[in-house]
Every structure is written in C-alpha cells, then in structure tokens.
Structure 1
Amino acid sequence: MLNYKLSQYSDGKSRTEFVFFILCKGKNAGKPLNKPTANCFVCEAKNQEESELLFWICYALWKGKNCERELIGSVIPYIRIQTMDKLIQERLNQINPECPHFKKRMLLLRYLEQNMKKHLSMIEKLKQLEVAAAASL
C-alpha cells in the first residue's frame, strides 16, 4: 500500500521533494500539475517512484472523467479533498503496479501526453506564422 498525503496547498509550507499538485476548482478539477496554482491540493509521496505512480493514477482519473462526475458547486465547480482521496484509494485498490499491463498503460499515457504537448506547441507556432503571413499581405 502506498503512503501518501493529500493536503490543501498553501504557499510557503515546507514539503518533501516528491510532490505534485492537483487542481481542485474549475472544469479541470482533478488534473495533476507539476507546478502549484492557487486552487490546488498537494500530493506528497515517500519517493520518486510512488510520486510518479500517483501522478499517473490522478492523470488517468482526470482524463477518464472520474473527477468530473464528482464535481460539486453550481457556479464554480470543485472537488472536495476527501472525494479526491477516495478516488485515488479506490484506484490504488484496483491496480497492481507490478503488473506488466499496468506498466505498459502508464508508459503509453506518458508518451501520449508528451506528444500532445509537442503537437500543441507546433500548432501554436503555426498560428503565429499564419498571423505573420496575413499581416504582411
């Protein structure tokens, strides 16, 4: 069983080096982040391996719309810290991190995320090029 701590983010609080952040408000609540924002949780793990495993579990929960189903609030949707913790615990109970199938899926998610970022960056540069070309007519 993984030992991790999920808490509300507060600026200046000392933490271990094995942390990532989880957005808690808005339509993307549940999305794991590498850098903190004003509205996020902190997930602290014992080591890098556990932190990475938890990050990709949270990513899968977010992408699989598990977090979206748990959003509350009529104006600004948000997810409660207890709900996020429950989702993570349930997923941890369902998986076997040593299973080759699980490891392949985790690598696939990482690969897809990296390629998506690369392509989005390229699309942004193409848009800028298009604007520059249109402005020079």
Structure 2
Amino acid sequence: MKTVKIYTYNPKNQKSGFEFYALSKGLNSGKPLDVPCPNCFVISCRNAEELDVYRSLLFGLWKTKAFYPFLIGSVIPYIRIGDFKKFVSEQASHLKGREKVFRNDIRKVKTLEQREKHIHEQLLLISELKHIYIARHLKQ
C-alpha cells in the first residue's frame, strides 16, 4: 500500500475526489471527519478502496487513543503533522496484506457502537419514564 498525501487543511485549496479529514487539535486528534474544519489534516487518497482502508485505519487508531502519546500543548493539545504522517505511515505498512480482515473488524466495532448508542437511548427513556411516574404523584 502506497502512502497517501497528508497536509494541513486550507479552504482555498481545491478538493480532490478521494479525500477525508482528521482532527489535528484537541483530545479527539486523529478522529476521521467527512467535513473539513479549520483544525484538521487532509488525507488525499488515489481511489475509493484506499480511502476506505485509511479511513478505517484512522478510525481504529482514534478509537484506541493511539494518538495520545503524540499530543503536545498545555491548554489545547494538538498533534504535529510530521508525527501524524509518520505514525499513520507506520501503521499502514503494518497492515499491509491484512486490509480485508481489518475492515471487517472495524465494521464489527461500528455495529457494536450503534448498538451501544441504541441501548444508551433506551436507558435515557427508562430514566425519563421513572421520573414521570414519580413526578405525576407530586404536588405541582
């Protein structure tokens, strides 16, 4: 797998067809994004398959907090673009030949997150119902 082009986002630059973004500031540094923001890097890929692999890779790295050791700054932590490029490149070369299995595992993680979100919403509804059952017996 060839390395992708990674650079700092600038709204004046022209957007290519196969690119996505990653946050560069805050505790969510490295989080993949579909829409650019002022504090992000652009990951420009050659085709849709490469884009899918790198998006999955960044999602996995972000989810496991793999970028935390690279964060610097006392008030607002951020990651340097050089550290980001080097780390992503190392991880991509480590995945070489196992992209299909990795994407399958990422798909499973995303499914579990959707289930977790659904359960969380149900717990909020249960909590609200408990409140309603008790509140209707209290004097207003």
TM-score by length of 1: 0.79
Cα pair 1:29 1:79 within 8 Å, conserved: yes
Q: CA deviation at 1:91?
A: 0.7
Q: CA deviation at 1:87?
A: 1.1
- Determine the C-alpha separation between the residues in 2 that align with 1:32 and 1:54: 9
> Which letter does structure 1 place at the counterpart of 2:73?
G
- Determine the C-alpha separation between the residues in 1 that align with 2:46 and 2:100: 23
Taking only aligned residues, the RMSD between alpha carbons, in angstroms, comes to: 2.8
Question: Which digits, 9 at most, give the CA deviation of each residue in 1:3-49, with x for residues without a partner?
Answer: 41111011132121111110001111111111111100111101111
- 1:22 aligned to 2:1? no
| Stretch moving more, 79-88 or 12-21 | 12-21
> Which letter does structure 1 place at the counterpart of 2:49?
E
User: Which residue matches 1:73?
Assistant: 73
- Determine the C-alpha separation between the residues in 2 that align with 1:117 and 1:82: 35
Q: What SS does the corresponding residue of 1:22 show, helix, strand or coil?
A: strand
TM-score by length of 2: 0.78
In structure 2, the CA distance between the partners of 1:83 and 1:29, relative to structure 1 (3 Å rule), is same
> Which letter does structure 1 place at the counterpart of 2:80?
R
Question: Which digits, 9 at most, give the CA deviation of each residue in 1:78-122, with x for residues without a partner?
Answer: 0011111111111112113446532421322332344455566x4
- 5+ residue gaps, structure 1: none
Structure 1 consecutive aligned stretches of length 4 or more whose deviation exceeds 6 Å: none
Report the identity percentage. 34
Q: CA deviation at 1:74?
A: 0.9
- Determine the C-alpha separation between the residues in 1 that align with 2:61 and 2:11: 26
User: Which residue matches 2:104?
Assistant: 104
> Which letter does structure 2 place at the counterpart of 1:79?
I
- Determine the C-alpha separation between the residues in 1 that align with 2:66 and 2:57: 11
- 5+ residue gaps, structure 2: none
- Determine the C-alpha separation between the residues in 2 that align with 1:47 and 1:116: 32
In structure 2, the CA distance between the partners of 1:72 and 1:2, relative to structure 1 (3 Å rule), is same
